[in-house]
Amino acid sequence: MYRVISRQYHSTKGVFGFIPKPSKEFQLDKRIIDARAQNSKAYRWVESYRNHAHRVASINPVPFQEPAKTESHLLEYSRYGLSRYDSVDLLGVVNSDTTSALTVEQLEQLLQQIYCGTSSIELAYIENEHEREWLTENYEQLFHSTLATSDKKEIAELLLKSQAFDNFLATKFPTVKRYGGEGAESIMAFYRQLFLCAAEADLSNIVVGMPHRGKLNVLTTLFQTRPVKIFRKFKGLPEFPADAKAMCDIANHFNTSTDININGKTIHLNMLNNPSHLEAVNPVSMGKTRAKQLSLQDGPYQLNPSNSSKVVNIQLHGDAAFVGQGINQECLMMADVPHFDVGGSIHMIVNNQVGFTTPGERGRGTRYASDLAKSIMAPVFHVNGDDPEALTKITKLAFAYQQKFGKDVFIDLNCFRRWGHNELDDPTFTSPLLYNVIHNRSSVPDLYAKKLLESGDLTQSDIDTVVKSHHEFLNSELQSVNSYQPEKSYFERQWSGIQQAGNEITTWDTGVDYSLLNLIAQTSVRCPEDFALHPHLRKHHVEARLRKIAEGNRIDWATAEAMAIGSLMYQGYQVRISGEDIGRGTFSQRHAMFIDQNTNEIYIPLNDLEGGAGGKLELANSILSEEAVLGFEYGMAIDNPNNLVIWEAQFGDFFNGAQIIIDTFLTTGETKWMVCNGLVMLLPHGFDGAASEHSSCRIERFLQMTDSKESTPDGDDVNFEVINPSTPAQYFHALRRQQIRNYRKPLVVVAPKTLLRLSECVSTHAELAPGTFFQTVIGDATVSDPKKIKRVILCSGKHYYNLNNERLASKNGEVAIVRLESLCPFPTQRIQEELAKYSNLREVVWSQEEHRNMGAWSFVQPRFENMCGKRIAYRGRYEGSTIAVGVSSWHAKEAEEVIKSAFQ
């Protein structure tokens, strides 16, 4: 007896953000089964075309080598016991517009036309019978229809406009790298058909992630971006109004957010800003799509999961980048994971058959650039870029598949680059034979226009009119460069009311009445009576939390977090926590979700919070990925300021797997693109004897990435914030402050490990009350006589508790310990206020547990000395090449020396 192994998730009932998809039974018609049995030889032969014909299809527009003949033998009918004049009943064998039987010779001609022409399909690896049957049926039906003349003329017009745009730029801006669409102009046909399908399906939003190749063509021809904006950029002028605090970016990274009208239907289109780090925009586009679904209560957030989403995600890839960048595998592995599923993305690989200067066959170890799609059993359609009509049909089929099955689907558009990686490169250095073919062939628009001329669907006058009128339009846009004023394209729609931060550090009342916090905390550990809660959790988590909140003076870190999140939900904000093991918490501290010990069902107590404005908590346990997951969360955060999005690294150093997202999106998105976000990164940090890995979140790296000033005071307008809070109340206020403020900034929380259960690290209800707020600096409340203080130890985070214990043990009454809770923005004024209390102060030291070349020392020293007017001495570990020693006895000795040195 065989047991079928299938994927199962914890919840069969569903939780917020995950509704199990209903199983769909599929049964093939018995007549077809019988027909295939009777025509088994013919059916096996037809299946060989479905599975193998893509190997010999005419999908390469620039072949410079003869295709291998050895692979066509798989399609020979004689291999399947058939002869030329055998009669084949088509029922159940092939989808045809004729119901009569065909000879093998006639059927071979039909199969060659369908599977060996300018498009083909890969589906041999797809396990689901329903999908396979649907794909073969609908793919074969494509060849029973032709496009209307009006469609052909519209496609030709778009291709000619794309070519005219590239020619115009080549003439007017000959030294500018434009990464044009030459050779891949059929992209226009893809987008055109995509828009038509979206309108017919009554979609509300399209979210696009696209790299440089042909991007400017698409933006100006189809996406309603005025060419003058591009031309202005090429002339060295900024793209934002003068009052925007922005450093700007290159034109190939531009975005658009606009409404397009297709056949009377209005669809909102988002093309996201992309950096030059290839493929990094893909998870961002997925996260943005997911956030749109959240706002619309759509897709995985809707009550009826059988309805397809009104939002679709589109991703364009480069062939070499799709294969080479690991972020793509991470994205695909998220595609069907609860809380990351966006209902399937439509992918197009713009297959130039060369990556930068590397020939395609040396840029991968697989047959196709699209082979990664097989890992998630996504169908792949291969299309010759010279045939925009085939691409139009395939786009329609790909869209229909995504809508029906809610899965990813791929189009591999085989095309070419007319020039090198950019227009200033000479590609013949490295690919002479390929470019000999390219330079001796006509362009895609010219070939298609010629085809329509010969068929009578287009006249030469039509062609001349399109090219001339578009050239005149571009010229008029170029003439208006000097008079054009950049438009404000930010802080609109859901972002209205949000503004850029000011140049002072502001304080925000984030306190909440304790009666509400008490209700929230009680709700956070409440579960249904018939729920089989783990006995350890019942005793050490639930009962312990109820005791602490009843007392109100020993609130721990996890309770403060639950209170902060629940209070924001009560105010109507949506909260999402994402990362590895975040439901339980890496250190088994959070337990925001309970698992029934008998049924494996998930229950999230805070989502049954009574009263309030209806915010929900989404707990997204992620795949073991940092780059794609953080990119996804960034995409969630930039869509709506009312979403508090939190990404928690399992350990602080795991952030380095997401460094590309941090560098190119999180820390620079506002200054490059005027795209704000309030994403929170929780990075557990602390030297606890765990050796180099997992001890440090590399505070120094984040501080180096800020635009904090060394000699003038910071304001809220730093590019992102770094805090190292030392109490649960501080963490509570920091989370609430993210949403309460009228601006959004990314926040790095140097998060604790040992403080999660340290008995001294607790807060009282008074520290959470209305009128309280996040304190950038915490003074020393234990000092009874400030005149006795001769030394101030400045420190940050959990290190305070070790220092304080040493002070208590040594009974040193001449030392005050001041906690720097906010590292960036650097709170100069508050530090000065604290130091001013000590009139007999002789020395200020900075104490840290990190090595001297790590931690906050190199950041704090120049700011403190330049703006506080005092010298500051260093106390901590020596310079080191690794984060921490790997010998426990050495660690213990170092830790003791670090603490004692601060008092010497």
Please determine, for residue 540, whether its predicted confidence score (pLDDT) is greater than 90. Answer: yes
Rounded distance, CA 455 to CA 465, Å? 19
Query: CB-based contacts of 557: which residues, under 8 Å, 6+ apart?
Result: 589, 728, 731, 752, 755, 756, 761
Per-residue pLDDT tens for 578-637? Answer: 999 999 999 999 999 999 999 999 999 999 999 999 999 999 999 999 999 999 999 999
Structure tokens at 7: 């994927």
Average pLDDT for residues 42-64, to the nearest whole number?
A: 94
Give the CA distances from residue 803 to residues 780, 781, 800, 897, in Å, rounded to whole numbers and listed in that order.
12, 15, 5, 11
3-state class percentages of the chain: helix first, strand second, coil last, to nearest 5: 40, 15, 45
Confirm whether pTM is higher than 0.85: yes
Rounded distance, CA 211 to CA 139, Å? 29
Per-residue pLDDT tens for 357-394? Answer: 888 778 888 999 999 999 999 999 999 999 999 999 99
Neighbours of 201 (CB within 10 A): 17
Domains of the chain, earliest start first:
33-143 (no CATH), 162-485 (3.40.50.970), 514-767 (3.40.50.12470), 777-902 (3.40.50.11610)
What is the dihedral angle through the alpha carbons of 394, 395, 396, 397, rounded to the nearest 10 degrees? 50
Please determine, for residue 76, whether its predicted confidence score (pLDDT) is greater than 60. Answer: yes
How sure is the predictor about 147, in pLDDT bands with cuts at 50, 70 and 90? very high
CA atoms within 13 A on the CB side of 688: 12
Rounded distance, CA 609 to CA 155, Å? 54
Rounded distance, CA 665 to CA 284, Å? 9
pLDDT at position 69: 63
Per-residue pLDDT tens for 429-472? Answer: 988 999 999 999 999 999 999 999 999 999 999 999 999 999 99
Rounded distance, CA 176 to CA 768, Å? 56
Please determine, for residue 6, whether its predicted confidence score (pLDDT) is greater than 60. Answer: no
Locus of tokens 């100069």 = 828
Query: CB-based contacts of 329: which residues, under 8 Å, 6+ apart?
Result: 372, 375
Rounded distance, CA 54 to CA 694, Å? 48
Per-residue pLDDT tens for 10-41? Answer: 788 889 999 888 888 899 999 999 999 999 99
Amino acid in the structure at residue 603:
Y
Which residues lie across from 409 on neighbouring strands?
Answer: 346
pLDDT at position 99: 65
Per-residue pLDDT tens for 545-565? Answer: 999 999 999 999 999 999 999
Please determine, for residue 8, whether its predicted confidence score (pLDDT) is greater than 80. Answer: no
